[in-house]
Amino acid sequence: MISRVYHATLFALYQLCIVIGIAAMPLAIAARQAGFTLPIHRALATVEDAYEATQR
């Protein structure tokens, strides 16, 4: 059984990744104009999958 601490930690990490993604938006736009992308979406997807797995 998954503990409440683990679930709360995943939720906090998920929210932190969202905040970092929003804060890095100007940098991501500049990087895209320079020709490359930042892999923030991969980190967010991984944490989101782990968090959703605890919901089941």
Count up the domains in the chain and report the number: 1
Cβ neighbour number for residue 14 with a 10 Å cutoff: 16
Residue 4 structure tokens = 């409440």
Of the chain, the end-to-end C-alpha distance in Å amounts to 11
pLDDT 10s per residue in the chain (56 long)?
568 888 888 889 889 988 988 898 898 889 889 998 878 788 888 888 888 888 76
pLDDT at residue number 2: 64
Q: Whole-model pTM?
A: 0.66
Please name the residue that has the structure tokens 């895209």: 32
Secondary-structure breakdown of the chain: helix, strand, coil percentages, each rounded to the nearest 5: 80, 0, 20
* Structural domain boundaries, residue 15: 4-55
The phi and psi torsions of 5 (rounded to 5 degrees) equal -65, -45
